[in-house]
Chains A and B, each alone.
Chain A
Amino acid sequence: MVWQTYFIEFSYLLASILFIFGLKGLSHPETAKRGMQLAEIGMALAIIGTLMHFEIVSYTWIIVGLLLGGLLGAAMGVWVPMTAMPQRTALSHAFGAFAAALVGIAEYYSYTHGFKDIAQLGHVKMGAMGFEIMLGALTTTGSLIAFGKLQGVLPGQPLVYRGQNIFNMALLATTIGLFIYLIFVPTAVIPFYVMLGLAFVFGVLLVLPIGSADMPVVMSLLNSYAGLASAATGFVLGNNVLIIAGTLDGFSGFILSVLMCRAMNRSLNNVLFGAFGSATTSAAGAAGEQGTMREVSLDDAAVQLAYASKVVFVPGYGLATAQAQHAVRELATVLEEKGVTVKYGIHPVAGRMPGHMNVLLAEANVPYSQLYELEQINPELSSTDVSVVIGANDVVNPDARDNPSSPIAGMPIIEVDRSKSVIVLKRGQGKGFSGLENPLFFKPVTGMLYGDAKDTLTKLVSAVQHA
């Protein structure tokens, strides 16, 4: 019996070390693949080790579960398109959090129904278990709502009503109140299930008022919650590898949340305490009508691009919805053949999750040496002949820099208006997701090119070839 325990614990220790090496590899694209292989080996070791556990009597359900989950995961891994990464990530947060909640519920059930010695269910253990279940439950439903919004099943606009924040806070306070009560009275079965139910409901209400444009923050935050729920599972089961992996996941999500907040000039407090989407709902900003937008013809745009010496593409979520990543890449290739230098400026919150645009462009074979971060591309824009904005809006809105009363004031932007000429690819004349007026569109340097981004880009490719 003892050698098995040592074997299991040793496999967990090795797995923990390999996980850390795996994440360390992600500090550079060249080392990342190797790192992930190490993490995969770690995972395999931990699973093999666990199968030796003395409490396991029957392998039937384990094998069926592993096969079913494996098939499900493999199917997602192979068939999910890169444009759908945000949805699939939201779904996996839901799965991870749900698994954590279920383990907690199973443990609690075993204690309260006489399968385990109830006297052993101490305050500390109940605390960890309650934390796990509360966080797991609210992350499950919250992530499912995020999935619905990203998939387009639910409306992307924030769903708000009067007294929403107060109601949500009251609900959260009740849930936490029950949680604290349970720490003192672990055997209180009814409060336990009420807490579970309320946590599920709270998850829904937490994400409903959040607009699609704020999704990168929400995704990161749910990532963090799912990880912390896993870490709490580790406390409940007294399992170190779970604590380590869950904490790494939780902190990764937390760091990403902070980075995303910074990229939108919102405080984490603002995000955590429910003022989500308030900036997007608080009307259209101060600017109002600012003259007329100048439309540019396809041929004019093609000539500008063909005779430029440096072109910067700035993609936004519109690139993903139009599936235009391959078309951009084709245009870039044609331009490069004409001797034009092509770069891409990527804003941290462009798209629906952190790093979304980078993955899309990498999928279209754009080498990552051409992908520039916000701070890297901004100094280059004044020497850029043409900036091409594709389905991006807020991240290039000069109001964030120039107008202190704008709802997005202070948000760092990609300053395309400093380049000699700007071409904005846009579906129609309407406002973007945020509903904010964008003064960039009215500037003299800006030419608007309306239409479906993919279609327009494809036409530009042949127009540039003939220019």
Chain B
Amino acid sequence: MSLNFISMLLLEGSESMSAAAIIAALYVFALAAFLGYQVISRVPPLLHTPLMSATNAISGISLVGSIVIAGGTGPQHAKVATILGFIAVVCSTSNVVGGFALTDRMLRMFKRKK
């Protein structure tokens, strides 16, 4: 039963948004915020541009949401949603690829000694 419940949460979390799921999401948000503060305040000003580029690439993870929307076709899915999802996939992918590529390029330039 409990296994069933968990899989229901995982599968249907977006659909039913039960109180438990909302609270769990808020926990994740609060802990991520705390952890983010701890980790990011240690980044030296030297690396602030790569940091911005890297967090940008990482938040391109919204790609996973767009993928699911772009991949749903057929009568039970809206054509408009597919098109919007497709554009979102393009935007997010370009952020992921471009963001990581630029971060790597920048970090390779930082050298201690000549």
Q: Which of A33, A92, A230, A367 is B61 in contact with, Cβ under 8 Å?
A: A230
A contact residues around B69 at 8 Å (CB): 103, 106-107
Q: Does A76 have its Cβ within 8 Å of any Cβ on chain B?
A: yes
Instruction: Say whether, besides A53-B67, A248-B32, A362-B109, A69 and B50 are in contact (CB < 8 Å).
Output: no
- Give chain A interface residues in 61-113, CB to chain B under 8 Å: 61-62, 64-66, 68-70, 72-78, 80, 82, 85, 88-89, 92-93, 95-96, 98-100, 102-103, 105-107, 109-110, 113
A61 lies within 8 A of B86 (CB) = yes
Instruction: Say whether, besides A96-B91, A105-B84, A43 and B62 are in contact (CB < 8 Å).
Output: no
A contact residues around B85 at 8 Å (CB): 61, 102-103, 106
Q: Does A239 have its Cβ within 8 Å of any Cβ on chain B?
A: yes
B contact residues around A431 at 8 Å (CB): none
A20 lies within 8 A of B39 (CB) = yes
A96 lies within 8 A of B47 (CB) = no
A56 lies within 8 A of B61 (CB) = no
Nearest A residue to B32 via CB reads: A247
A contact residues around B42 at 8 Å (CB): 24, 27
Q: Report the Cα distance A373→B46, complex, angstroms.
A: 8
A102 lies within 8 A of B67 (CB) = no
Number of residue pairs across A and B with beta carbons under 8 Å? 393
B25 lies within 8 A of A223 (CB) = no
Q: Report the Cα distance A113→B32, complex, angstroms.
A: 35
A contact residues around B78 at 8 Å (CB): 106, 109-110, 113, 115
B97 lies within 8 A of A70 (CB) = yes
Instruction: Say whether, besides A99-B92, A367-B113, A355 and B81 are in contact (CB < 8 Å).
Output: no
Q: How far is the CB of B70 from chain A (nearest CB, A)?
A: 5
Instruction: Say whether, besides A58-B71, A77-B101, A355 and B94 are in contact (CB < 8 Å).
Output: no
Chain A interface extent, by class: 35 or more
Q: Report the Cα distance A12→B64, complex, angstroms.
A: 10
A contact residues around B62 at 8 Å (CB): 96, 99-100, 103, 230, 233-234, 242, 245-246
Q: Report the Cα distance A397→B91, complex, angstroms.
A: 41
Stretch at the interface among A154-162, A252-260, A411-419, A456-464: A252-260
A244 lies within 8 A of B28 (CB) = yes
B72 lies within 8 A of A32 (CB) = no
Residue in A27, A227, A247 whose Cβ sees the most chain B Cβ within 10 Å = A247
Q: Report the Cα distance A251→B11, complex, angstroms.
A: 28
B contact residues around A125 at 8 Å (CB): 17
Q: Does A29 have its Cβ within 8 Å of any Cβ on chain B?
A: yes
Q: How far is the CB of B39 from chain A (nearest CB, A)?
A: 5
A23 lies within 8 A of B39 (CB) = yes
Q: Which of A32, A113, A220, A248 is B50 in contact with, Cβ under 8 Å?
A: A32
- Give chain A interface residues in 377-428, CB to chain B under 8 Å: none
Q: How far is the CB of A377 from chain B (nearest CB, A)?
A: 12
B89 lies within 8 A of A65 (CB) = yes
Q: Does A330 have its Cβ within 8 Å of any Cβ on chain B?
A: no
B91 lies within 8 A of A5 (CB) = no
Nearest B residue to A245 via CB reads: B61
Q: Report the Cα distance A22→B99, complex, angstroms.
A: 13
A53 lies within 8 A of B71 (CB) = yes
B111 lies within 8 A of A367 (CB) = yes
A231 lies within 8 A of B93 (CB) = no
Q: How far is the CB of A298 from chain B (nearest CB, A)?
A: 26
Q: Does A240 have its Cβ within 8 Å of any Cβ on chain B?
A: yes
A33 lies within 8 A of B108 (CB) = yes
Q: Does A196 have its Cβ within 8 Å of any Cβ on chain B?
A: no
B contact residues around A69 at 8 Å (CB): 89-97
1/0 contact string of A116-144 vs chain B (CB within 8 Å): 11001010110000000000000000000
Q: Does A452 have its Cβ within 8 Å of any Cβ on chain B?
A: no
B contact residues around A122 at 8 Å (CB): 17
B64 lies within 8 A of A50 (CB) = yes
Stretch at the interface among A176-184, A204-212, A266-274, A346-354: A346-354
Instruction: Pick the 8 closest A-B CB pairs, nearest first.
Output: A77-B101, A69-B93, A73-B97, A355-B48, A65-B89, A238-B13, A73-B98, A56-B71
Interface on A for B, CB 8 Å cutoff?
1-2, 5-6, 9, 12, 15, 19-20, 22-24, 26-30, 32-33, 36, 39-40, 43, 46-47, 49-51, 53-59, 61-62, 64-66, 68-70, 72-78, 80, 82, 85, 88-89, 92-93, 95-96, 98-100, 102-103, 105-107, 109-110, 113, 115-117, 120, 122, 124-125, 219-220, 223, 226-227, 230-231, 233-253, 255-256, 259, 346, 348, 353-356, 358-359, 362-363, 365, 367-369, 371, 373
User: Would you mind naming 13 contact pairs between A and B with Cβ atoms under 8 Å apart?
Assistant: A5-B11, A39-B100, A66-B93, A69-B96, A82-B106, A92-B56, A92-B99, A99-B92, A102-B88, A223-B55, A255-B40, A354-B48, A367-B114
